[in-house]
Structure 1
């Protein structure tokens, strides 16, 4: 008889940002498991359950270096998140898409088609879009850097205005 798996124990930190409170979820080793905005907390919980099954979330602080990187990013350092360790569930395909997202330099954008081509699956545009939408680690795994084929800012789970702010900040454009 197989013993049931213990719930994944995670810590939830809350950090203020110019575009709203950020929810930062880390594991015992300090790896980031989720990042979302407080107004999308329900979605964050759905993604955590989908990716990890049972989990427990305790209010606390993320490691100082992780908190500092998140704060530095929102204060205008577009590369501050690059070195953070991220662990995600998801399928092999989803993790491949998320790795390709992290390879997009700050301030640059790619279309879903370009992202599909970057992972060697140029016909998988829809699947790439779906994987993008299942990303539990927004901003660090920068799904906001994906735009429509015609260059428009298309659906971002955190809202198009937030997407615009994130891209403008990364490009060094003054906030509106």
Structure 2
């Protein structure tokens, strides 16, 4: 991919930046003020060569603001584009089916992705997820309810889970 757009908006957790393809699909996103923290997570085949800053990314910006304002389901309608192995892509799709306020365990995530024994692979898919929020990996917790890891920190994950409960 040669070009993409980037925008940062303020949220209650801090700045949220999204990198979006020309067709509106999210390539990467997260609670950071810079695309430099996001681009390494994007598959090389999708990674843009050039980023153009925009104040507003249309549907993506509206969804980020609406989600943080309490419309928890708005993120499901935003298109996402990620590339990985077959199971990783399946695991990312499975995450998009997890309802807000109903966190699941990594074991449940593996089951939902179609490979119950692949708990480590399911956790790895969460760790490799470039489109945070739109692919809600924050909804996966450790068995027993412990927060687990999150690229944007445990405080952000706690806020998101509390916001959705």
TM-score scaled by length of structure 1: 0.86
2:42 — aligned with what? 48
Offset at residue 139 of structure 1 (A)? 0.9
Instruction: Give the counterpart of 1:83 among 77, 82, 92.
Output: 77
Matches within 5 A, 1:77-116: 77-116=71-110
Asked if structure 2 preserves the Cα contact closer than 8 Å seen for 1:88 and 1:136, the reply is yes
For 1:70-100, what per-residue CA distance to the aligned partner results, in whole angstroms no more than 9, with x for missing partners?
1000112111211111111222221100111
Unaligned runs of 5+ in 2: none
1:59 — aligned with what? 53
Aligned counterparts of 1:47 and 1:136: Cα–Cα separation in 2: 5
Aligned counterparts of 2:59 and 2:122: Cα–Cα separation in 1: 31
Looking at CA atoms only, which structure, 1 or 2, has the larger radius of gyration?
1
Instruction: Give the counterpart of 1:37 among 31, 36, 46.
Output: 31
Offset at residue 63 of structure 1 (A)? 3.4
Aligned counterparts of 1:51 and 1:109: Cα–Cα separation in 2: 31
Cα RMSD, aligned residues only: 1.7
Q: CA separation of 1:138/1:39 partners in 2, compared to 1, >3 Å: closer, same or farther? A: same
Moved over 3 A (4+): 39-43
1:11 — aligned with what? 5
Number of corresponding residues: 165
1:119 — aligned with what? 113
1:145 — aligned with what? 139
TM-score scaled by length of structure 2: 0.92
